[in-house]
Amino acid sequence: MSSKHRDGVSINLGFVPEFDYKSSSSQSWTRVWTMSWRRLSSLQRTIIVLFVCIVALCFFYFHPTFQSNGSKSAKMVPINVPGDNPVNNLPHDSVREMEIEKAHKLEELKEKAQKQLENMMKQHGVKDDVDEDKVADEKNKVEENNFENTNKEKEKDVEKKVDMEGVKPELEYDFFDANRKHNDRQKAVIEAFKECWSAYKKYAWGHDEFHPVSKKHSEWFGVGLTIVDNIDTTIIMGLEEEYEEAREFATNGLSFDKDKDVNLFEITIRVLGGLLSAYHLTGDELFKTRAKDLGDRLLPCFNSPSRVPYSDVNLRSGNAHAPRWGPDSSTSEVTTIQIEFRDLSRITGDPKYKEAVDEVYTHVHDEPKKDGLVPIFINAQSGKLRNSGTISFGARGDSYYEYLLKQWLQTGKTEMKYKNDYLEAVQGMKTHLVRKSEPSKLTYIGELLSGRNFSPKMDHLVCFMGGTLALGYKNGLPEDHLELGKELTHTCYQMYAKMPTHLSPEIVYFNQAEGAPDDLIVKPLDAHNLLRPETVESLFYLYRITKDEKYRDWGWKIFLAFKKHARIEGLGYSSINNVKNAGNPSFRDKLESFFLAETLKYLYLLFSDDADLLPLDQYVFNTEGHPLPIYKSA
Ligand code: DMJ
Same domain, 132 and 253: no
Mean pLDDT of 455-464: 99
Question: Looking at ligand 1, which residue's alpha carbon is closest to its atom 8?
Answer: 461
Ligand 1 midpoint to CA 398 (Å): 9
Question: Looking at ligand 1, which residue's alpha carbon is closest to its atom 2?
Answer: 624
Question: Looking at ligand 1, which residue's alpha carbon is closest to its atom 11?
Answer: 532
Domain count, the chain: 2
Indicate which atom in ligand 1 lies nearest the CA of residue 270: 2
Report pLDDT for 325.
85
Per annotation, catalytic residue among 99, 266, 537, 592: 266
Indicate which atom in ligand 1 lies nearest the CA of residue 398: 6
Please check the confidence at residue 27 and state whether its pLDDT lies above 80: no
What pLDDT digit, counting tens, does each position of 363-422 carry?
999 999 999 999 999 999 999 999 999 999 999 999 999 999 999 999 999 999 999 999
Same domain, 285 and 379: yes
- pLDDT higher at 148 or 207: 207
Indicate which atom in ligand 1 lies nearest the CA of residue 625: 4
Same domain, 233 and 376: yes
Do residues 625 and 601 make contact, with C-beta atoms less than 8 angstroms apart?
yes
169 lies in some domain = no
CB neighbours of residue 301 within 10 Å: 27
Verify whether residue 506 is a known catalytic residue: yes
Indicate which atom in ligand 1 lies nearest the CA of residue 402: 6
Indicate which atom in ligand 1 lies nearest the CA of residue 332: 6
Listed residues 97, 132, 163: the one ending a domain = 163
Per annotation, catalytic residue among 398, 402, 459, 624: 398
Please check the confidence at residue 585 and state whether its pLDDT lies above 80: yes
Ligand 1 midpoint to CA 401 (Å): 14
DSSP 34-100: HHHHHHS-HHHHHHHHHHHHHHHHHHHHHSGGG-SSSS-GGGGS----TT--GGGG---STTHHHHH
Verify whether residue 165 is a known catalytic residue: no
Same domain, 392 and 263: yes
Indicate which atom in ligand 1 lies nearest the CA of residue 623: 6
Query: Exposed/middle/buried for 632, CB within 10 Å: 0-12, 13-18, 19+?
Result: middle
Same domain, 481 and 594: yes
71 lies in some domain = yes
Ligand 1 midpoint to CA 544 (Å): 21
451 lies in some domain = yes
Name residues contacting ligand 1 (CB within 6 A).
269, 399, 461, 532-533, 594, 598, 623-624
HEC readout, 219-276: CCCCCCHHHHCCHHHHHHCCCHHHHHHHHHHHHHHCCCCCCCEEEHHHHHHHHHHHHH
Ligand 1 midpoint to CA 594 (Å): 7
Do residues 353 and 295 make contact, with C-beta atoms less than 8 angstroms apart?
yes
Same domain, 156 and 240: no
CATH number for the domain including 385?
Answer: 1.50.10.10
Report pLDDT for 47.
72
Ligand 1 midpoint to CA 271 (Å): 13
At 268, the pLDDT band (50, 70, 90 cuts) reads: very high
Question: Looking at ligand 1, which residue's alpha carbon is closest to its atom 10?
Answer: 532
Which range marks the domain in which residue 215 is found? 184-629
DSSP 176-206: T-TT----HHHHHHHHHHHHHHHHHHHHHTT
What pLDDT digit, counting tens, does each position of 520-541 carry?
999 999 999 999 999 999 999 9
Q: Which of 272, 590, 624 to mutate to test the pocket of ligand 1 (most atoms within 8 A of CB)?
A: 624
Same domain, 146 and 242: no
Same domain, 228 and 158: no
Listed residues 132, 163, 194: the one ending a domain = 163
Ligand 1 midpoint to CA 506 (Å): 12
305 lies in some domain = yes
What pLDDT digit, counting tens, does each position of 298-338 carry?
999 999 999 999 999 999 999 999 998 889 999 999 999 99
- pLDDT higher at 165 or 415: 415
Same domain, 315 and 456: yes
Question: Looking at ligand 1, which residue's alpha carbon is closest to its atom 1?
Answer: 624
CB neighbours of residue 322 within 10 Å: 16
Give strand pairing partners of 4.
11
Residues 6+ apart with CB under 8 A from 552: 185, 539, 543, 606, 607
The rounded distance, in Å, linking the Cα atoms of 427 and 445 is 12
Mean pLDDT of 151-157: 41
Ligand 1 midpoint to CA 131 (Å): 71
Do residues 561 and 567 make contact, with C-beta atoms less than 8 angstroms apart?
no
At 277, the pLDDT band (50, 70, 90 cuts) reads: very high
At 99, the pLDDT band (50, 70, 90 cuts) reads: very low
439 lies in some domain = yes
566 lies in some domain = yes
Question: Looking at ligand 1, which residue's alpha carbon is closest to its atom 6?
Answer: 623
Q: Is 11 helix (H, G, I), strand (E, B) or coil?
A: strand
Ligand 1 midpoint to CA 364 (Å): 21
- Which of 194-208, 239-253, 264-278, 316-330 is predicted least confidently? 316-330
At 53, the pLDDT band (50, 70, 90 cuts) reads: low
Residues 227-266 as b/e (b if ≥16 CB within 10 A, e otherwise) read bbbbbbbbbbbbbeebbebbbebbeeebebeeebbbbbbb
Ligand 1 midpoint to CA 80 (Å): 79
Per annotation, catalytic residue among 506, 537, 592, 598: 506
Same domain, 386 and 423: yes
Same domain, 460 and 331: yes
Verify whether residue 534 is a known catalytic residue: yes
Verify whether residue 549 is a known catalytic residue: no
176 lies in some domain = no
Entry pTM? 0.76
Question: Looking at ligand 1, which residue's alpha carbon is closest to its atom 3?
Answer: 624
The rounded distance, in Å, linking the Cα atoms of 232 and 527 is 31
321 lies in some domain = yes
Same domain, 210 and 143: no
Mean pLDDT of 591-603: 99
Report pLDDT for 43.
67
Q: Which of 233, 277, 507, 534 to mutate to test the pocket of ligand 1 (most atoms within 8 A of CB)?
A: 534
Query: Exposed/middle/buried for 95, CB within 10 Å: 0-12, 13-18, 19+?
Result: middle
Listed residues 133, 163, 193: the one ending a domain = 163
